[in-house]
Amino acid sequence: MQTMQLVIFKLNDQEYGLDIFNVREIGPYRQPTQIPNSPDYIEGILNLRGDIIPIINLKKRFNVQEGNLSEKTRIIVINSGQKMMGIIADEASEVLTMDIDQIDSVWDMTGIINRRFISGIGKRSENENMLIILNIEAIVTENAAIAV
């Protein structure tokens, strides 16, 4: 049986998953330096041990309700090939190993949801909660032009 390891994080009360192979590190929130004339979902840039990376606010990007920052707020540094960026999460809760058969593909609901950033929907076996598995390649590629 094939499995996938996911880093689970929350935006508001919704759980999201990222393939662990695309996660470089998870750290506490730091205030990014703002960039003039950048899209509103780009919070700014951070210097991560010599690498300048853009910081993406997924709540703004996904048009979900924004909340306040807390001591649980994290920056998850993701990479794909040579591209790297940080995303802001309300909290990063765990690493979960999920059987591939627990992950459903995203069906075509054009006009109802924008699914370009979603690679699947994971079903947790111990409860009925679902998590949205993000397509990191789409997020990195779409935002690569903003990277400095």
The pLDDT of residue 17 is above 90? yes
Residue 9 near residue 23 (C-beta atoms within 8 A): no
Q: What's the Cα-to-Cα distance from 132 to each of 17, 18, 124, rounded to whole Å?
A: 6, 9, 11
The pLDDT of residue 114 is above 80? no
Q: How is the chain split into domains, by residue range?
A: 3-146
The CATH number of 3-146 is which of 1.10.8.60, 1.20.120.340, 3.40.50.300, 2.40.50.180?
2.40.50.180
List, for residues 30-49, the tens digit of each pLDDT value.
Answer: 999 999 999 888 999 999 98
Q: What is the model's pLDDT at position 87?
A: 95
The pLDDT of residue 145 is above 70? no
Q: What is the model's pLDDT at position 102?
A: 84
Distance (Å, whole) CA 2 – CA 84:
27
Tell me the pLDDT band of 142, cut-offs 50, 70 and 90. Answer: low
How many beta carbons lie within 10 A of that of residue 117, not counting itself?
18
53 or 125, which is more confident: 53
